[in-house]
Amino acid sequence: MTDFITVADVDQALGQGWAGEADGVLAVTMANAWLTAKIKRAVPKVVPDAIVTAGVQVAKLAADGKLYKDTQREVQSKTVSAQAGTSTSKTYVAGSSDRSTAENFALDLIAPWIRRSGTVMLKRV
């Protein structure tokens, strides 16, 4: 896991007490794990401000308990019939979950580092 942000970075951006009753160190660790999982390209030694800002947003989500949520097996299809000829059905995508505004914002901030570079050079040996 790469350390993109620190507790000091989040304190500077959001002020002291941003984590509330939660463990700020754990929230920053979760944010760094999330960023490490999402970022696919090399990041300069000095972490860009966009990644730090994204990390701050994600750390706040983690402190609020909204970053890594419990997941359950989701319904693929469900049909309920009340009377003959009357029914309601729902279909959910497997593994789908709602994303918060802060998570969407963080993903947009790190977008240049999410995509792999388009050119791959191969050399025959």
CB 22 within 8 A of CB 65: yes
What burial letters (b/e) apply to 55-72, b meaning 16+ CB within 10 Å?
bbbbbbbbbeeebeeeee
Read off the pLDDT band of 4 (50, 70, 90).
Answer: very high
Domain ranges in the chain are: 7-70+97-114
Tens-digit pLDDT profile for residues 35-79:
999 998 888 899 999 999 999 999 999 999 988 876 555 556 666
Q: Percentage of the chain surpassing pLDDT 90?
A: 46
CB 116 within 8 A of CB 41: yes
**For residue 71, what pLDDT is reported?**
59
Paired tokens of 26: 């754990």
Is the predicted pLDDT of residue 1 greater than 70, yes or no? yes
| Residue tagged 């050079």 (tokens) | 121
